[in-house]
Amino acid sequence: MKKREWLIVILPLLATWSLDRVTKLWATGITQLQSFGPVHFVLHHNHGAMLGLFSDLPSVLRIVSLSTGGAFLLCTYALIQYLLPIKSLTLRTGLSILIGGIIGNVTDRIVWGYVVDFIVVGTPSLSSPAFNIADALQWVGYALIVYAIIREGELLWPENNVRKQYWVNMPFQLKYCFILMAVGLSLTLICLVFSYTYMRVTIQELVGNNAFLVNKFLVPYVITFVIICVAFCAILFAVGRVISHRIAGPLYAFERFLKMSLDGTSTPLKLRAGDEFKHLEELAEQVNERLNQIKKERTVQVIEYSEDEN
């Protein structure tokens, strides 16, 4: 994608996050119920996830896990935007709005330890759960994603521009994937040791050497961290497969092109969308031109030699 298109993709994320922050800062000043027809504004602190899920978990585990999950989704979003081999601005904008809403709620948990909800729609007898602008915009993001999948399927899955085989050079690609996983695993282990030690020392400073309380907070935290680590490594493996495919694929295609050129049956080299080494197409064209020139020169030499013989 071009720089202008990337700007169009990033702006919805920033706009969603900014609008959510502004409205929530305003909502913190609400002291009593304010009604405007079926729409009501009332301040509510949501200590869980969407619709109050996981609110019964210990606060340390809940805040850390949900905040880390949001950061995890942000990294996943960046990888998806980078790896998508299409120019569907509808899909990319939907993803940006969705992640912008999620990051808005994650910011609440990091800053306040809870999410600010302040919108209720309905009547006293039948009303919606309390929500905020980020929650509402997330559904806009979902709608755009579904719309793009339905209406732009040919862009998402172009049959004529996708290799049917993902393991073009399996030894190289597996090595690449495992190296990427090893780097990710090393970083997560460093974070685990640091965060575990920091939390353990902090808890002991606050409550003393109480094994029950220490284990109550640290054991669920370690389990959650390990789950996130496994998911992160799995994503790194998948990302490694895609990136290594974009590297191995062009090299494989160029190698095949050279073999066919030497056999005299070469065809123009066409790489796939998202492939690396796009300059190989130009180099292959130069090779073809040079080979054709050599053939013409040899043909001229043969003709001249035949004329001299006669």
Residues with catalytic function: 117, 135
Token duo for residue 99: 């992640």
From the CB of residue 95, how many other CB atoms can be counted at a distance below 10 Å? 23
Whether the Cβ atoms of residue 254 and residue 286 lie closer than 8 Å to each other: no
Residues in CB range of 74: below 8 A, 6 or more apart? 99, 102, 103, 106
d(CA 164, CA 2): 27
Q: At 116, which helix (H) or strand (E)?
A: strand 115-121
3-state secondary structure of 44: strand
- Residue that is written with structure tokens 């080979």 in the block: 291
Q: How many angstroms separate the CA atoms of 162 and 234, rounded?
A: 23
Record the tokens describing residue 47, joined without a space. 């200590």
Question: Which structure tokens are listed for 290?
Answer: 């040079």
